[in-house]
Chain A
């Protein structure tokens, strides 16, 4: 499970960085989204990977061995919400930029 997750994070982050270095705004924003997915998975994996474990133990029968760390889950949730908001805001800025400059190049003009 660790290997699969590590490879997916690496693929997402690598594709994201490549797209981030592209000149078109759409590629840049997709790249940023991919990187933020990679980061979210990374945060999640920092709580250690386990299956069949509950984040909140109830009653007297709770056992730390069946326990999944809830903090990274809360962090991921926060990061997703903030990432969603910034992406939406950024999309508006880029749409305005496309409308004002007539091009979707990140420099606001086509290279000569």
Chain B
């Protein structure tokens, strides 16, 4: 082909010509590792004995990669890698900053702990339905969503984890699960459709999908651009994913139906991805529009946290109580988004990391309580204190953590959020956060009182449990201890996490470091 060379185009302006440095692969490792392990598990789906151990190895590698990535990001600032050797914004970028790396690491830890719990909890039929491949593919989507630097790519990762979560949700194909999955699926599909409309509109406005490029151009784009429409659409779409009032009815309808490990993963991880996407779009891409929407977000936050915790007070199934506490926590996180100050955002980020750990721990606690006490219902549970003082101690610490009381991890993010609210003269927001904490204490106190302290269930309810012969799930309690340790450590030594959260919040508010990581020479 002699003619080719004559037509050859100089690609140096559009492509990376040199090889990619080996350390850059770390940025995509948290996506590649679970993807490869998920594919392996699919190929060997009939070798069910090996599923658990292979998944554990994969998730341990994932946690290792996440930790290495976070430490590198903390040392060097945001890191970026662009696919297919194209220079951004033509190639799809992966950009890891302190926010994404922190969330990815916490999510990895939660998934690892859940996989240990699943070793005993997921029986052969659950493995035959593909629990472990679904878990690995969901983690691919979750890590991808936290680390991608491209807004359409974010949509793709959303779909990856939503489709995998359908699989986990209907594991076992019971009637209640299918019913929950129907609602979950319809409302999630509507949410993703809104996300897609907003993204198309954004492309029509900016002509780019790279988030660093959008953040850069949003400062200089003409006044006529419909940025307000875009910000509102993203608020609605991600508010739906995060289960913010009034678009949160899919969560109480579905989260109590799956296997308890799947519920723990969902409660821990999925709503936080919505919060992450809200932070990324509203704070980093559209800061001016976020400030205009701040009052609306504030009232949505108050309604979400108060109605969430009131729902928790009204329920008698432990899984439903925790489902409503997930919603209440989303409200608390949105309070920081409404404030938009560095302290407020740092409180939101810290609270999100805390919430991933604590919600997973609470759902697993519900699972262990079911195994020992024979029921999820507060009418039937009783006498667990006599059966296991260890479990009681864990439950007390977890109750303190979710309510935001010392010595556990819930205290400090709430301190940051209340301080930010008072600084901004938003007394109503500070009051709502404190009231939510108080009502959460009552909701957890009810569980404690009924399930742990009283000796026998209420009159007229058959006793399903005898403390003397109760099962003592060693793995379940061990996993809960493992989860409780970081929760208490975060409460006692919060400084390192607050420092990371401050860094992540500053990175969102001053996106120049993020932009520089994607466009080193300021070109593109």
Contacts and interface: CB of A to CB of B under 8 A. Distances in A.
Contacts of B204: 45-48
The 5 A-B residue pairs whose C-beta atoms are closest, nearest first, are A46-B204, A43-B200, A108-B179, A97-B178, A100-B175
Given A20-B186, A72-B200, 11 more contacts: A28-B186, A32-B186, A42-B200, A45-B204, A75-B203, A79-B196, A93-B166, A93-B170, A96-B170, A106-B182, A108-B179
A89 B179 contact: no
B515 to A, nearest CB: 21
B201 A46 contact: yes
Interface string B196-207: 110111011000
Interface of A: 20, 25, 28, 32, 35-36, 39, 42-43, 45-48, 59-60, 71-72, 75, 78-79, 82, 85-86, 89-90, 93-94, 96-97, 100-101, 106-108
B193 interface: yes
A59 B7 contact: yes
Contact of A39 (B163, B166, B183, B193): B193
7 contacts: A32-B193, A45-B204, A48-B204, A59-B7, A75-B152, A96-B170, A100-B173
Contacts of A100: 173, 175, 178
Nearest to B197: A39
A27 to B, nearest CB: 11
A108 B182 contact: yes
A contact patch SS = helix
Contacts of A78: 152, 156
Contacts of B466: none
Nearest to B185: A90
Contacts, number: 83
B197 A82 contact: no
B7 A94 contact: no
Contact of A42 (B166, B182, B197): B197
A45 B203 CA distance: 11
B189 interface: yes
B163 A85 contact: yes
B121 interface: no
A93 B178 contact: yes
Interface residues of B, number: 28
A64 B182 CA distance: 47
A106 B178 contact: no
B497 to A, nearest CB: 36
A100 B7 CA distance: 64
A71 B175 contact: no
A45 B7 CA distance: 33
A89 to B, nearest CB: 6
A43 B203 CA distance: 8
Given A93-B170, A97-B182, A108-B182, A86 B193 contact: no
Chain A CB count within 10 A is highest, among B170, B190, B196, B204, for B196
Interface string B158-169: 010011001000
B213 to A, nearest CB: 13
B189 A86 contact: yes
A60 B3 CA distance: 13
A71 B209 contact: yes
Contacts of A28: 186
Contact of B182 (A25, A35, A71): A25
Nearest to B201: A46
A90 B196 contact: no
B181 interface: yes
Contacts of A59: 7
Interface in B195-226: 196-197, 199-201, 203-204, 209
Given A93-B170, A93-B185, A101 B200 contact: no
B234 to A, nearest CB: 15
Contacts of A86: 159, 162-163, 185, 189
Nearest to B178: A97
A72 to B, nearest CB: 7
Contact of B175 (A47, A89, A101): A101
Nearest to A29: B186
B200 A90 contact: no
Contact of B203 (A35, A72, A85, A89): A72
A65 B79 CA distance: 37
A47 B206 CA distance: 11
Nearest to B184: A93
A61 B190 CA distance: 44
A78 B209 CA distance: 14
A57 to B, nearest CB: 11
A71 B175 CA distance: 43
A75 B207 CA distance: 13
A75 B195 CA distance: 13
Interface string B369-409: 00000000000000000000000000000000000000000
Nearest to A35: B193
A94 B182 contact: yes
Contacts of A93: 166, 170, 178, 181-182, 185
Given A82-B156, A93-B185, A96-B173, A39 B179 contact: no
Residue among B189, B197, B199 with most chain A CB within 10 A = B189
Nearest to A98: B178
Contacts of A107: 179
Contacts of A94: 182
A67 B156 CA distance: 27
Contacts of B209: 71
A56 B314 CA distance: 60
B166 A89 contact: yes
A82 B178 CA distance: 21
Contacts of A79: 196
A1 B33 CA distance: 47
Contacts of B7: 59-60
Given A72-B203, A108-B175, A36 B193 contact: yes
